[in-house]
Amino acid sequence: MAVNLDKPQRWKEDVALSVDMYNQWFLDFAPGTFRATRITATESVENSLQLTSFLRDISPNTMRATPKILSTLRMATCPPIAVDRLIGLSGVNPNLVKSMEKDNRLPTRMASDVIDNELQKLAAIVERMADPDIFVWLARGNEPTQEEVHRAATIVADRLCGAQANPIIRNEQEKRQLTKVKAWLEARGYKEVESSGRVDFQMMHPGTFSFRLNVKVRDNTVNIPVDAVIMPKNASVGDLPLLVEAKSAGDFTNTNKRRKEEATKMAQLKQSYGSDVKFVLLLCGYFDSGYLGYEAAEGIDWIWEHRIDDMSELGL
């Protein structure tokens, strides 16, 4: 039995209520979340400045030891340099830069002397383009004061957080959504399977749930991360659990760009586990009728966070 996908007469009202809920959360909590992240980022930038002798010695050894430092160095230039722009300016292997940025490591198949040469090229670009209005001690040629270091670190941290603002807010919203799901389930006697005791999603006991569980598809060759997996209390042997994907969005454009992701995931799940697989979305924010119609056409149902008690209609 469908919960929302077959009730288009309710979509317009639900969209408005969902937008209001997201906006209220954003106004109440997003600024604090962003500030807390910026404080942590400032401390990280200060450490990075110390490692590079306050941008006066950006050595390959330093970048080898802390590859993630590259993202900080990119934001220390005037103007700040995007990943692809840095690759173009320095002429280094793109895989090196992307490994440092995304995985905090150096490529394992690249020769050591080649890596050192490439890192030297990156350092040369950063040293040449270091922002003189932020790192005022570079022109003076002496030690910076503690106040100058903190001020510079705050500016660079603000740049870092600005570039990552959407992921920061999205991650915080997802945590909040899953916390709400947990509270709803526990109030009804469900028990969480701790990370140390996780099992195959098909082997979960009735009345249990788990977060961020991998579900294997394509003959067990591909893992699909699922935000919440819930085995109903009345489940029989062989029944599949309910799979829930938490989705939030702060604008309508972004959701319509991402709507195919859920359809692809649903198709993979059905191909591996049959048409009885139960996959629903938990929505909060800017999901318009175009998005909802697309998901409904793909057979994907959803629960609105502002009406989370509808989860009971899923057999929970």
* Structure confidence by residue, pLDDT tens digits, 260-289: 888 888 888 888 888 888 899 999 999 988
- Burial environment of residue 139 by CB neighbours within 10 A (0 to 12, 13 to 18, 19 or more): exposed
What is the share, in percent, of the chain residues with pLDDT greater than 70? 96
According to DSSP, residue 79 is labeled: S
Cα separation, 59 vs 72, in Å, equals 14
* Structure confidence by residue, pLDDT tens digits, 45-80: 999 999 999 999 899 889 999 998 999 999 999 999
pLDDT for the residue numbered 119: 93
All structural domains of the chain with their residue ranges: 8-29+168-314, 32-165
pLDDT of 198 over the 80 cut: no
Tell me which of 3.40.1000, 3.40.1350, 3.30.1490, 3.10.450 is the CATH number of domain 8-29+168-314.
3.40.1350
pLDDT of 166 over the 80 cut: no
- Burial environment of residue 45 by CB neighbours within 10 A (0 to 12, 13 to 18, 19 or more): buried
Mean pLDDT of 140-150: 91
**Cα→Cα distances 146→86, 129, 150, Å:** 29, 23, 6
Going by C-alpha positions, the residue among 205, 240, 236 that lies closest to residue 226 is 240
Confidence tier at 197 by pLDDT (50, 70, 90): low
- Burial environment of residue 183 by CB neighbours within 10 A (0 to 12, 13 to 18, 19 or more): exposed
pLDDT for the residue numbered 196: 57
Q: In what order do the strands lie in the sheet with 208-217?
A: 191-192, 208-217, 222-231, 242-249, 278-285, 301-304
pTM, two decimal places? 0.71
